[in-house]
C-alpha cells in the first residue's frame, strides 16, 4: 500500500498545500492537459535530483521546465528569438515545448549538462494555478517510471511512483493524453525532437520544421531513445491492414491448433474496433476513428491491457496526420521487437 497523499485538485487549499511542499523541495505530481507531471522546484538541485530517483530515470535524460507565464520562460533562456515569441503567442498555454539555449540560472542537473533548456506553459487551469501559487519554474517530466507508459490519471501515477512522491494532485483523466510536442528552435528552422499534442503541421506555418531528427546527428537529444513508453507485455505492431491481419491471425491460430500448441493470450489495441476476434482482450481507441480521441485514450488502454496477464499486445497503426504522428511515435517506441505476424510465426517454430 502506498502512503502518498492524494488531494483533489479542486478541493479548497489543495493547490496552496502543493505549492508549499514544492517550496520545501518536495515532489508533487500534478495533471497537465497532456499527461501527469512529476514536479519539483527547477532551481533547487536537490529537489530535481529526487525526480530522477523517483522515476529511476538516467541522469542523461533532461527534464522539461514548466512556467506559469511566458515572461518566466524568457528569463530561463539566454535569448528568446522573434520566431519563438511568435510560437509562444500562437500555442501557449498548450502542448508545445520549446528548446533554446539556457540561462545560467537553470541548474545543470535539469538539462543533463546540455547548453539548452526545454520549457513549456501547460494549458491546464489547475496546473497554471499551481505554477502561479508556487511562483517559479517547475521541472516536471511525465509522472511514470522511466521507460514505461506515461500516466494519464492519478491512479496511474500512484501505481508507478507510490511512496516516492510526496503528494499527488488528482485532476481526473488528462484531456490530450499524449505528451507535448518538443521543438528545438534554431535560427532558420525548428527541429522536431518529439511529435506530440501540437501538430507539426500547425508549427510549419511559422517556420520550416525538420521532422526526422533520428536520421540527423543530434547528440543533444538523448530523450529520443528507441525504447520508451513500453508496457511490460511485449507490444507488436500489425504489419498489414486490419482485415488482412485478422484473416492471417485466424489462419495462424489454426496452425497452432494443428500442432497442438497453445494459442497465446493476445490483447489487441485498435482504432475503431475489430469484427471478430482471435484475441483475449480488445481495447478500442475511438469508435468514430477520431485521432484526438484515440490519443487521449492511448496510454490508459495500454496500461489496461498490460494488467491482463497477456502474452502479447498487438497494436493497429493509425494515420500519421496531426496528432496521429504522436500516437504512432509512442506505439513505435513501445514495441518490443518484431512485427506481430512475424512474432507469432516465430513461436510456431
Residues that bind Mg ion (CB under 5 A): 142
Instruction: Tell me if residue 266 falls in helix, strand or coil.
Output: strand
Least separation in angstroms between CB 25 and ligand TXA? 19
Cell numbers placing 20: 508549499
Q: Where are the alpha helices (DSSP H) in the chain?
A: 14-23, 45-55, 70-76, 82-91, 108-111, 125-134, 154-161, 200-203, 242-258, 291-306, 324-334, 340-348
Cell numbers placing 249: 491471425
Contacted entry of Mg ion, ligand TXA, none for residue 293, CB cut-off 5 to 8 Å set by kind? none
- What is the C-alpha radius of gyration for the chain, rounded to an integer number of angstroms? 21
Which residue's CB is nearer to Mg ion, number 142 or number 296?
142
Which residue's CB is nearer to ligand TXA, number 118 or number 305?
118
Least separation in angstroms between CB 270 and ligand TXA? 25
Least separation in angstroms between CB 51 and Mg ion? 11
Which residue's CB is nearer to ligand TXA, number 1 or number 217?
217
Cis? peptide before 207, omega within 30° of 0: no
Report which of 179, 105, 185, 91 is spatially closest to residue 137, judged by C-alpha positions. 105
Which residue's CB is nearer to Mg ion, number 129 or number 228?
228
Contacted entry of Mg ion, ligand TXA, none for residue 341, CB cut-off 5 to 8 Å set by kind? none
Which residue's CB is nearer to Mg ion, number 224 or number 281?
224
Contacted entry of Mg ion, ligand TXA, none for residue 117, CB cut-off 5 to 8 Å set by kind? ligand TXA
Contacted entry of Mg ion, ligand TXA, none for residue 62, CB cut-off 5 to 8 Å set by kind? ligand TXA
- Reading phi first (left if > 0) and then psi (alpha if -120 to 50, else beta), residue 299 is in alpha
Contacted entry of Mg ion, ligand TXA, none for residue 220, CB cut-off 5 to 8 Å set by kind? ligand TXA
Cell numbers placing 330: 509512442
Least separation in angstroms between CB 81 and Mg ion? 27
Report which of 252, 175, 209 is spatially closest to residue 83, judged by C-alpha positions. 209
Report which of 249, 308, 312, 305 is spatially closest to residue 276, judged by C-alpha positions. 249
C-alpha dist (Å) from residue 249 to 235, 271, 331 = 16, 18, 20
Residue 224 burial by Cβ neighbours in a 10 Å radius (0-12, 13-18, 19+)? middle
Which residue's CB is nearer to ligand TXA, number 191 or number 314?
191
Which residue's CB is nearer to ligand TXA, number 37 or number 267?
37
Contacts to ligand TXA by CB under 6 A: 32, 34-35, 37, 61-64, 95, 97, 99, 111, 114, 116-118, 122, 140-142, 179-180, 182, 193-194, 220-223
Least separation in angstroms between CB 55 and ligand TXA? 8
Contacted entry of ligand TXA, Mg ion, none for residue 61, CB cut-off 5 to 8 Å set by kind? ligand TXA
Which residue's CB is nearer to Mg ion, number 142 or number 174?
142
Least separation in angstroms between CB 37 and Mg ion? 9
Least separation in angstroms between CB 119 and ligand TXA? 9
Question: In the complex, which residue's CB is closest to ligand TXA?
Answer: 223
Question: In the complex, which residue's CB is closest to Mg ion?
Answer: 142
- Report the alpha-carbon distance of residue 65 to residue 59 in Å, rounded: 16
Contacted entry of ligand TXA, Mg ion, none for residue 231, CB cut-off 5 to 8 Å set by kind? none
Which residue's CB is nearer to ligand TXA, number 177 or number 267?
177
Give bridge partners of residue 283 from the DSSP assignment: 269
From the CB of residue 43, how many other CB atoms can be counted at a distance below 10 Å? 17
- Report the alpha-carbon distance of residue 199 to residue 46 in Å, rounded: 35
Give bridge partners of residue 269 from the DSSP assignment: 283, 315
Contacted entry of Mg ion, ligand TXA, none for residue 300, CB cut-off 5 to 8 Å set by kind? none
Contacted entry of Mg ion, ligand TXA, none for residue 81, CB cut-off 5 to 8 Å set by kind? none
Amino acid at each position: 500500500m502506498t502512503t502518498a497523499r492524494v488531494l483533489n485538485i479542486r478541493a479548497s487549499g489543495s493547490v496552496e498545500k502543493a505549492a508549499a511542499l514544492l517550496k520545501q523541495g518536495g515532489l508533487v505530481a500534478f495533471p497537465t492537459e497532456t499527461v501527469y507531471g512529476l514536479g519539483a522546484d527547477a532551481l533547487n538541485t536537490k529537489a530535481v535530483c529526487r525526480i530522477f530517483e523517483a522515476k529511476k530515470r538516467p541522469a542523461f535524460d533532461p527534464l522539461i521546465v514548466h512556467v506559469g507565464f511566458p515572461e518566466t520562460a524568457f528569463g530561463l533562456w539566454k535569448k528568446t528569438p522573434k520566431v519563438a515569441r511568435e510560437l509562444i503567442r500562437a500555442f501557449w498555454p498548450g502542448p508545445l515545448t520549446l528548446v533554446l539555449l539556457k540561462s545560467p540560472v537553470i541548474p545543470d542537473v535539469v538539462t543533463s549538462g546540455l547548453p539548452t533548456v526545454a520549457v513549456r506553459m501547460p494549458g491546464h487551469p489547475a496546473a497554471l494555478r499551481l505554477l502561479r501559487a508556487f511562483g517559479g519554474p517547475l521541472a516536471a517530466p511525465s509522472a511514470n517510471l522511466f521507460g514505461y507508459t506515461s500516466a494519464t490519471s492519478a491512479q496511474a501515477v500512484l501505481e508507478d511512483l507510490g511512496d516516492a512522491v510526496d503528494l499527488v494532485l488528482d485532476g481526473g483523466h488528462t484531456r490530450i493524453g499524449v505528451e507535448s510536442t518538443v521543438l528545438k528552435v534554431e535560427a532558420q528552422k525548428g527541429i522536431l525532437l518529439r511529435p506530440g499534442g501540437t501538430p507539426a503541421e500547425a508549427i510549419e506555418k511559422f517556420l520550416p520544421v525538420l521532422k526526422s531528427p533520428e536520421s540527423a546527428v543530434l547528440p543533444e537529444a538523448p530523450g529520443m531513445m528507441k525504447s520508451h513508453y513500453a508496457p511490460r507485455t511485449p507490444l507488436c505492431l500489425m504489419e498489414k491492414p486490419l482485415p488482412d491481419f485478422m484473416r492471417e491471425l485466424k489462419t495462424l491460430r489454426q496452425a497452432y491448433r494443428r500442432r497442438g500448441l497453445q494459442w497465446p493470450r493476445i490483447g489487441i489495441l485498435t482504432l475503431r474496433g475489430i469484427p471478430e476476434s482471435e484475441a483475449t482482450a480488445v481495447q478500442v481507441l475511438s469508435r468514430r476513428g477520431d485521432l484526438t480521441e484515440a490519443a487521449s485514450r492511448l496510454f490508459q488502454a495500454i496500461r489496461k491491457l498490460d494488467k491482463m496477464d497477456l502474452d502479447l499486445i498487438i497494436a493497429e497503426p493509425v494515420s500519421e496526420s496531426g496528432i496521429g504522428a504522436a500516437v504512432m511515435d509512442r506505439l513505435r517506441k513501445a514495441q518490443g521487437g518484431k512485427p506481430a505476424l512475424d512474432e507469432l510465426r516465430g513461436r510456431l517454430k
